Structure formats: structure tokens, C-alpha cells
Structure 1
Amino acid sequence: MKEEGVLGWGKSLPVPSVQEMVRNDSEFVPERYVQDHKNRPLDSPTFFCSDSSDIPVIDLSLLISGDEDELNKLDLACKEWGFFQIINHGVEVKVLNGMKAVVAAFFDLSLEEKKKYAMPENDLQGYGQAYVVSEQQKLDWGDLIFLMTRPIEDRNMKYWPTAVPGFKEAVEEYSTELQKVTEEIMANLSALMGMDRNGLERLHAVMKQSMRMNYYPPCSRPDLVLGVSPHSDGGSITILLQDDEISGLQIKYKEGWLPIKPIPNALVVNVGDVIEAWSNGMYRSIEHRAVTNADKARMSVATFVLPDAGIDIGPVESMVKDRPRMYKDIKYLDYIKHFLERKMDGKAHTSFLLLESDS
């Protein structure tokens, strides 16, 4: 387990709980949460899903059986969209529901109880909000608890809520199942990137896993706020367990925002900045955001797959044979620190990876 007093990769300023704010006054939206006009959900173009613009759906059981068409579909999904949903992924419904249940139970606790797991000043693990780097920036309409889940020695159990019966067991079971899903996706991406099936796993050195459990309360003015500001993810891939009933995730698509319609019991996968660098830009991480609604709270669990801090995330050899090299070699620790010390701002942070950039 992680030692006490060890500095994390970043920190976030403490801010009030949005959930508690809504409990106390469900109509009031403080100015600090009101987004600038260009970022408001109704002031930025939104595409409504049609059959032609839904993100790809990948059948993981077909990938596992070596289906060439499904592998090509994965390639296209990562090149054209950066997002896809997976079905027949092998994670039992009771495991998915068990995970959702303990997240709901945590956010049902009193504020006093949740604060026992609050983020400290020097780490991002725990309960609070992420990416709050100044007292002036606009805030997201949501609360979260963030945990390192793999490898086991990276866990800091003081942030794992003991007040929720079965929390540790549910997270552990879900984490183990997602590790299997991750390995299968990585093996297929390795093949598409011209490596053997273990190529990406080796590049990670240690395949780390963290979870961000999100709670987005209803908002009386969902047209003014965002649950999560636009950003791309700083890991290699992200696997999202989202609410089956309530749509909130949107991805950047043709200069507008495309809602991702939930498929019951599916998982949403997206390419992160690390795969973008390793693939020399063949697969790009995509901006995404979460919107709120006026009627119902929404919860989700984002599982981030991360490489070891000491490895390089420049393009792999097979990705520079037929493409000019566009990304520099950089230690992942240097990149993730750069990523975490900034507020969420689309893909602005990924310029740090590009060869022509020294910022």
C-alpha cells in the first residue's frame, strides 16, 4: 500500500460540495459555476444522434475470437472517433450493478462522513473535485471520489470508504474484470500498431489503473453549467461505466458536441493522450465533456489505464516507418504533472507532446 506522506502527481484546491449545495437550495446556481457563453451547453452546437452518427459499437467477444472485420472496425473507431462502446465484454451485469450500487451508497452518505475521505493538499486521491488550480476558474457541477486501484501497492486505503458495506469488494471485483477487458483491447491495438499482442502492455512497464467515481446533481439551469469541462484524458485508455438511463457524456464531433446514447450494460472506451503519442497521432484522444439535467442526478465511473511514471511516451518504431514523427520522447511523469497542474481546457495540454512545442 502507498506510504503516508508520499506526494501524489498533483493537487486540487478544496471547493464546496455541489451535492450539498443542491440539497440546501436546489434553485441557486452560484456565479462560479456559470460557464462562459462559448462553453455553455446550448451556446455550443450539439449534434443529435442519428444512426449514421452514433459512435461505433465493438463486440469484444468477436475481437477475442480473432474476427478480422471487428479488428478493422476497432481500427476505424480509434482513427475516426477516438471513442467506441463495447458489448459482450464478459463483465457480468451483477458486477456492473454492484459497482454502481456502492458509488450511489457513498454519495448517499452525509457530508460529514464523506469528508473523512477528503483529498489532502498534496494528492488527487479522495473525495472532492479535480483540476481546481485557481480561485478564479469556473467550477464543474459535480463531486467525485478518485482512487488508485492497480497495482495493489499503489492503493491508499484511507480513502476507501469503510462506511459503505461491501465497497472494497465491489471495487476490487470490478477492477479485476476491467483489467481483463483492458488487456484484450491493448492486445488488439498492439496488433493494429504493428507490434506483437503484448507490445502495449510492455510499453506500460506497469499497467496502472485508477477510478474516478462521479456524481452530477440535478441543476435548475443545466443550460448554464457543465458536469465536466471539455478535456481529453491523460492516460492510455479510459473505460467508462455510465448511467443506463441518463445521457450526459458528449464528445467533440465536427466542431460540435455529440451525445453518447447509453447502451444498457455496455462500456464506453476512449483513446487517451498516451496512445496518441505512442501511435504518432494515428489514434487521437478526443475532447469530451459531461452535461447536467434539471431532474435527476447522474453517476458514472471512469477507469483510467496509465503507464508507469518512469517510461517514455514517444512514438513507437512501427508508427514512424510510414509517417513523419510528430511527437517527442517525454517521460510520462513529466507529462502527467504538466497535465494535472492545469485546469481542464480541451486538448491544449497535448501541445506539450508535439515535436514543434517546447511549452
Structure 2
Amino acid sequence: MATRNLGSSIPVASVKELVAQSLDAVPERYLRDVDGDCDYPTGDSSLQVPILDMSKLLHPQFHQLELQKLHHACKYWGIFQLIGHEVGGESVKTMHSKSQDFFNLSPEEKKLYAQQPGSLEGYGQAFVISEDQKLEWCDMIFLKAIPAQTRKLQFWPKQQPHGFREALDTYSHNMRKIAVSIIGFIAMALGLDAKRFSEAFEGGSYDVRMNCYPPCPEPQRVIGISSHADISAITLLTDCGNIPGLQVLKDGQWVFVEPITNGVVVNIGIIMEVVSNGIYKAPYHRAAVNREKDRFSIVTFCYPDSKFEIKPAEQLINSDSMALYKSFTYGEYTQSFYDRAKLSDDGVPFIDTLKI
């Protein structure tokens, strides 16, 4: 398995510790002009994120219609909520509980798992590259989970919360089950070899990011996570509760993704945008924060195995549809992203650097 350089991040203060000081105002470094309207979308049913049912994708009677719905969701939204999957709710609830328990540990206990120079893994914030950079209203712990040999267990909480490691091991394997299944159907919806894709993700890599968004006295003036598109193939998110926060950009408007009990949010990543030759788009999304309550979420970034070549699928290239993107080895692709992450934002989206 090729080693991936996950970049690094400058240590910054914990947002949860800032909030514990009973803030009346947000520190300057977190304040920003948040683009777009953060209010809940109302009155237009077309602005509800699609819901797909895995049990119908698996059922001969409903398969074709649900596959068409999947294609439409990936093409016009790039994101959907998945229900009817076979992953048990108890293991997800357990991981949600352990994640919240971790963020509720004392500052001293959490710092035992703090990021080290040259790595994003561990407890901290992502991609802080300068001392004057605007910060996100979020604490996180980021861990490589699968394959097991890539784990850096010094960043995996051991004694507290009790059972954290076991819960994360089970959770990450359950997310892999969902990813292997749904990526096969996504490939099928494109007319590609579902078995090839499922096998590539059976042997793929899975990184888990647990997020804590503390309550904020000025939620309209901060951002939990800035607008971005994921570099994964697909990303799976579960909300640890019923507080909305994830927003997706649809037709120029930010739309909340309302949490669904036992639902998993699936969004297309840039790898699948390239493979689909732009038929499916990796959507821009961000996280808003709440004035009164903490919000917690767990995000699993799903990648194919390192032998998977990242390029437009040959079946989708013809005289009417020329290749829009270059070809990359897995290592070239990931290293290109993390090299760019070390630089100041030049305003050029990463996906544009991949185009021919």
C-alpha cells in the first residue's frame, strides 16, 4: 500500500476550550463574511437532498427505478442520503457516543493525541498553514482507519474514552461495507463495471474525521468547515444527533442536509468526478454552526486501492464526449492535492488543475 502524505497543520487553540471561557464575542481570527444565506430553505421541495434506499437497489423489483434515481442524484446534486443499508444502528450509535466522549475529555487528555509536526493525523484542525489564516469553528480528530497497517495508534485514544479503539474499528469496517456496495451501484449507473469498482474499494483506504462544532455566540459570522469539494472518491457522513449543520451548494443556494435517523450522507468526491468525465460533480459543501448546542459528526473519506488509475473511464469517452481530465496514478493524485494544500489559496479549484 502506497504511503500517502497527508500534509500538516499549525497547532491552534481548541474551539471547545474557547467556548468554555463563556465568550460574549467571537475572537477576530474566526470572524469572516460567510457567503450565501444560512437560513433554512423553505417552500421549494426541489431543494431537499435526494434520499436513496439501498434495499430497493438490491431488490429486483425496484432496482432499475432506484438506479435511475441514483444517477439523477449523482448528476444533479452530487450528494444524497442513503437509507435501507445493512449496517446495524447500534455500532453507529456506539461510535457516535465514543466520539462525543472524546471531545468532552479534559484539554490535557485530548492533547495526548494532538497532531504532530508534518502530519494531519490526530487532534487539532486541518490545513492551518499560516499564523494569520482565518480559522474554522471546529475541533477534529483525524485518523487513518483502513487498512489496519496504516493506523498510527499513538493518535487513537486508548484508555479514555473506554472502548474507543474497538468502536472505531467496527465503525470503519461498517462504513467500508456501505462504500463497497454503493460505489458498485454508482458505477452501474454510469454503465461501468460494478464488480471492478467494488473490488477496488474492498481493498481501498478509509480515513475517518470526527468533528465537534461547539455553540457559537455569533453563528452567522463564523464557519464550521469552509466551502470545499472532497478529494475522495465518495465520502460518507453520519450525524451524531439531529442538529442540522451540513450544507450543500445547489444552483447557487446553500441547502441544509437534514439528519435522518440511521441515514448516511453520501457525496461524490473529485476522484469520481474525474472517472465519470464530469457527468457526476463533486459538490461544494460546508458546515454551519449552532448558537445553543454542540454538533458532532463523523466523516469517512473513501478511496480505491493504490493500483486504481484516476482518469476518465474509457467507456465514457467517444467522438461526442472527449476526455476532460488528465490521467493520474493514485500517488500522483493525492500528492498533488496535499502539495497544493501547503500553499496559499490561489483561488483555483483543485478540480480545475486536473483538467486537460
- CA distance in 2 between partners of 1:60 and 1:22 (Å): 40
- 2:176 counterpart (166, 176, 179): 179
Q: Which residue of 1 aligns with 2:333?
A: 335
One-letter amino acid of the structure 2 residue matched with residue 52 of structure 1:
S
3-state SS of 2:298 partner: strand
Q: Following TM superposition, by how much is the alpha carbon of 1:45 offset from its aligned partner in structure 2, in angstroms?
A: 8.1
Is residue 40–residue 224 contact of structure 1 (8 Å, CA) maintained in 2? no
3-state SS of 1:188 partner: helix
Q: Which residue of 2 aligns with 1:266?
A: 263
Q: Following TM superposition, by how much is the alpha carbon of 1:347 offset from its aligned partner in structure 2, in angstroms?
A: 7.5
- CA distance in 2 between partners of 1:246 and 1:45 (Å): 14
Q: Following TM superposition, by how much is the alpha carbon of 1:51 offset from its aligned partner in structure 2, in angstroms?
A: 2.8
- CA distance in 2 between partners of 1:69 and 1:346 (Å): 40
> For residues 114-153 of structure 1, what are the structure 2 equivalents within 5 Å?
114-153=110-149
- CA distance in 2 between partners of 1:140 and 1:252 (Å): 18
TM-score (norm 2): 0.92
3-state SS of 1:117 partner: coil
Give a deviation string over 1:185-229, Cα, whole Å, max 9, x none. Answer: 111122222222222245569411010000000000001000000
Q: Following TM superposition, by how much is the alpha carbon of 1:309 offset from its aligned partner in structure 2, in angstroms?
A: 4.7
Give a deviation string over 1:263-289, Cα, whole Å, max 9, x none. Answer: 112110000000000111111100000
RMSD: 2.3
In structure 2, stretches of 5+ residues that fail to align are none
TM-score (norm 1): 0.91
- CA distance in 2 between partners of 1:47 and 1:154 (Å): 41
- 1:56 counterpart (45, 50, 70): 50
- 2:315 counterpart (308, 315, 318): 318
- CA distance in 2 between partners of 1:345 and 1:227 (Å): 22
Q: Which moved more, 1:134-143 or 1:228-237?
A: 134-143
Q: Which moved more, 1:209-218 or 1:307-316?
A: 307-316
- CA distance in 1 between partners of 2:130 and 2:155 (Å): 24
Over 3 Å counting, the alpha-carbon distance change for 1:164 and 1:291 in structure 2 is same
Is residue 74–residue 280 contact of structure 2 (8 Å, CA) maintained in 1? yes
- CA distance in 1 between partners of 2:346 and 2:20 (Å): 29
Q: Which residue of 1 aligns with 2:100?
A: 104
Over 3 Å counting, the alpha-carbon distance change for 1:204 and 1:243 in structure 2 is closer
1:354 maps onto 2:355 in alignment? yes
1:251 maps onto 2:252 in alignment? no
**Structure 1 moving runs of 4+ over 3 Å:** 44-50, 201-206, 308-311, 343-347
3-state SS of 1:52 partner: helix
Is residue 310–residue 332 contact of structure 1 (8 Å, CA) maintained in 2? yes
Q: Following TM superposition, by how much is the alpha carbon of 1:338 offset from its aligned partner in structure 2, in angstroms?
A: 3.3
Q: Which residue of 2 aligns with 1:73?
A: 69
Over 3 Å counting, the alpha-carbon distance change for 1:346 and 1:68 in structure 2 is farther
Give a deviation string over 1:236-262, Cα, whole Å, max 9, x none. Answer: 000000143201010011112111111
Over 3 Å counting, the alpha-carbon distance change for 1:49 and 1:128 in structure 2 is farther
- CA distance in 2 between partners of 1:65 and 1:345 (Å): 47
In structure 1, stretches of 5+ residues that fail to align are none
- CA distance in 1 between partners of 2:117 and 2:305 (Å): 23
Q: Following TM superposition, by how much is the alpha carbon of 1:54 offset from its aligned partner in structure 2, in angstroms?
A: 0.6
- 1:298 counterpart (277, 295, 300): 295
- Percent of pairs with identical residues: 38
Is residue 9–residue 128 contact of structure 2 (8 Å, CA) maintained in 1? yes
Give a deviation string over 1:289-328, Cα, whole Å, max 9, x none. Answer: 0001110000000001013456431111112135211000
Q: Following TM superposition, by how much is the alpha carbon of 1:25 offset from its aligned partner in structure 2, in angstroms?
A: 3.0
- CA distance in 2 between partners of 1:112 and 1:41 (Å): 37
Over 3 Å counting, the alpha-carbon distance change for 1:344 and 1:249 in structure 2 is farther
Give a deviation string over 1:108-143, Cα, whole Å, max 9, x none. Answer: 111111011111111111000002122222110000
One-letter amino acid of the structure 2 residue matched with residue 156 of structure 1:
K
- CA distance in 1 between partners of 2:240 and 2:348 (Å): 26
